[in-house]
Homo-oligomer: A and B are copies of this chain.
């Protein structure tokens, strides 16, 4: 099931996110994608924090990034986060990171499993999360 919804998160590269090459370290993009997911859920009126409080966790099962252009300290970035798949126990997102001026800096995708927080086993996601994810608008 493809869900075309897209949420944009605005970021600025932090100094601590750079490395000795003078650009943002490639692991920083992973942290930004996670931020994009948090903001995507928040835009749907859902909080990942509440999900954990309810006894669930969402983990990353698979991750891919293509780095197209370097980003630098203080660069303003626009991260577009799009839900690409929802199943009863899993979900997937796709990301496009652009320099504020326009060019695409990176693309990525992640696959996730919903787990029971205590047992660590995959479980059917709670109805409130599924509803937030399947909402069309």
Chain A residues proximal to chain B, CB less than 8 Å: 14-16, 18-23, 25-27, 30-31, 34-35, 38, 47-49, 52, 57, 59-67, 70, 72-74, 120
Bound-complex Cα distance A102 to B31 (A)? 27
Q: How many protomers of this protein does the assembly include?
A: 4
23 interchain pairs, CB-CB under 8 A? A14-B34, A14-B38, A15-B19, A15-B25, A16-B19, A16-B27, A18-B20, A19-B20, A20-B22, A20-B23, A20-B52, A20-B72, A20-B73, A21-B57, A21-B59, A26-B30, A27-B30, A27-B34, A62-B65, A62-B67, A63-B67, A64-B64, A64-B65
Residues of B within 8 A of A30 (CB): 16, 26-27, 30
* Given contact pairs A20-B15, A26-B30, A49 touches B73 in the complex (Cβ within 8 A): yes
- Taking a contact as CB atoms closer than 8 A, the residue among B15, B18, B38, B63 that contacts A74 in the complex is B38
Q: Are B74 and A70 in contact (CB under 8 A)?
A: no
- Taking a contact as CB atoms closer than 8 A, the residue among B31, B61, B66 that contacts A67 in the complex is B61
Top 7 A-B pairs ranked by shortest CB distance? A18-B20, A27-B30, A16-B31, A26-B60, A64-B64, A49-B74, A63-B65
